[in-house]
Structure 1
Amino acid sequence: MNEAILFETERMAFRRFTMEDRETVNVFLRDPEVMYAWEHGFSEDEVTEWLEKNLGRYAQYGYSWLCADDRKTGENIGAIGLIYNEDINGEACWEIGYIVNKKFWGMGYAAEGARGCVRHAFDVIGTGRVISQMRTNNASSRAVAQKIGMKYVATYDRIHHGKKEPHDIYVIEKRQGG
């Protein structure tokens, strides 16, 4: 396995993004359809900020959004990762997130990647609990969370760009002995 690869799933290899991945992330971060939960495709400055924020999280926590590449072709599927979030409804926790390039929608990559992230969080990071949060109207993200066995636990108001946005929280816990 390539040293840069943190872990793999059946179809994907996961590694940390670098600033050299700008063109790769532009494909999905600048696409308003992909970024509907953020209400807009990112600007060049927002892409730079997103990459820099990831580099900072890697330095601080070891993880953040990860580059999910097809194991056979090397083509980028999107960003799927483990983000240490210090305040989800007043609690610090590991969170999974998934932003999939539109070209790969409907092929099960988000669920496969999220499942791989959860397994990595339990087995390598050592946490016993992983959450996912999504806007209450984000049916696709909710479906992924449910598909991998996450359970709804709460809705809270997250402040985003100065406005309240209700978000659902889903949780999966490591089973004893597993």
Structure 2
Amino acid sequence: MPELRTDRLLLRRWRESDLEPWAAMNADPEVREYLGDLQTREQSDAVAALMQAEFDERGFGWWALEKRATGEFVGRAGLDVVDGTMPFTGVDVGWRLTRSAWGHGYATEAALACLAFGFEVLGLPEILASTTVGNLRSQAVMRRIGMTRDPADDFEDPSVPEGPLRRCVLYRTPAAMREAYRVT
């Protein structure tokens, strides 16, 4: 499993010590505001195991995210194959950070490293990102990393029950933008 380094972050393999702060994130109503129900420790551990297994199988996926200066776990970032139930296909970039890590530019920094990996190492033709209509913070990150949105691509997430989290926006960045991204 490759590691990615940025000026301030390390995107790395998951460790046993990540499970407790990962579970705390998934039990935090503010972190889960645009993601749906809170998760139990067992659910959170199962997701972490699945993320690691998928990474091992594909060679890419969700990295654990830590601050290089302190070694503190601050979330996850990575690339994921779009679920087959969605009205589009491809590879999606994403992030989820602990509340204490919000507002420091870590999501942008990690997402740029993921885009660079996707274009330079995996040779992807395009990378997508999606979120709920109301998640303006994530949409701002998508714009900061050079992604664009066509409102005609907006969609209803079939895996989400009717309600405010079902309507989503889709952002894209083509491989032609790869010169804007760099793996360090």
Q: State the TM-score, normalizing by the size of structure 2.
A: 0.85
Tell me, in whole angstroms, the C-alpha distance in 2 between the residues paired with 1:105 and 1:62.
Answer: 28
Q: Any idea what SS the aligned residue of 1:132 has?
A: strand
Q: Is the 8 A contact 2:28 2:38 kept in 1?
A: yes
Give the aligned CA root-mean-square deviation in angstroms.
2.0
Q: Name which of 78, 82, 87 aligns with 2:84.
A: 87
2:127 aligns with 130
1:172 aligns with 173
Q: Any idea what SS the aligned residue of 2:173 has?
A: strand
Distance 1:15 1:46, change over 3 A: same
Residue 159 (str. 1) matches residue 158 (str. 2)? yes
1:100 aligns with 97
Q: Name which of 14, 22, 26 aligns with 1:25.
A: 22
Q: Any idea what SS the aligned residue of 1:87 has?
A: coil
Tell me, in whole angstroms, the C-alpha distance in 2 between the residues paired with 1:138 and 1:45.
Answer: 26
Distance 1:94 1:31, change over 3 A: same
Q: List alignment gaps of at least 5 residues for structure 2.
A: 180-184
The count of aligned residue pairs is 175
The one-letter code matched in structure 1 to 2:156 is D
2:58 aligns with 61
Tell me, in whole angstroms, the C-alpha distance in 1 between the residues paired with 2:143 and 2:90.
Answer: 19
Q: List alignment gaps of at least 5 residues for structure 1.
A: none
The one-letter code matched in structure 2 to 1:158 is D
Tell me, in whole angstroms, the C-alpha distance in 2 between the residues paired with 1:152 and 1:88.
Answer: 21
1:6 aligns with 3
Tell me, in whole angstroms, the C-alpha distance in 1 between the residues paired with 2:177 and 2:112.
Answer: 18
Q: Percent identical across equivalent pairs?
A: 22
Tell me, in whole angstroms, the C-alpha distance in 2 between the residues paired with 1:17 and 1:177.
Answer: 27
Structure with greater contact order relative to length (CA < 8 Å, sep ≥ 6): 2
Distance 1:126 1:41, change over 3 A: same
Q: When you count strand as a share of all residues, which structure comes out higher?
A: 1
1:117-143 deviations in Å (ceiling 9; x for gaps):
101111111112111010011111111
Tell me, in whole angstroms, the C-alpha distance in 2 between the residues paired with 1:29 and 1:177.
Answer: 32
Tell me, in whole angstroms, the C-alpha distance in 2 between the residues paired with 1:143 and 1:17.
Answer: 27
The one-letter code matched in structure 1 to 2:72 is E
Tell me, in whole angstroms, the C-alpha distance in 2 between the residues paired with 1:88 and 1:132.
Answer: 16
2:182 aligns with none
1:14-47 deviations in Å (ceiling 9; x for gaps):
1122455311312312211111112333112220
1:52 aligns with 49
Q: Any idea what SS the aligned residue of 1:36 has?
A: coil
The one-letter code matched in structure 2 to 1:22 is L
Residue 113 (str. 1) matches residue 110 (str. 2)? yes
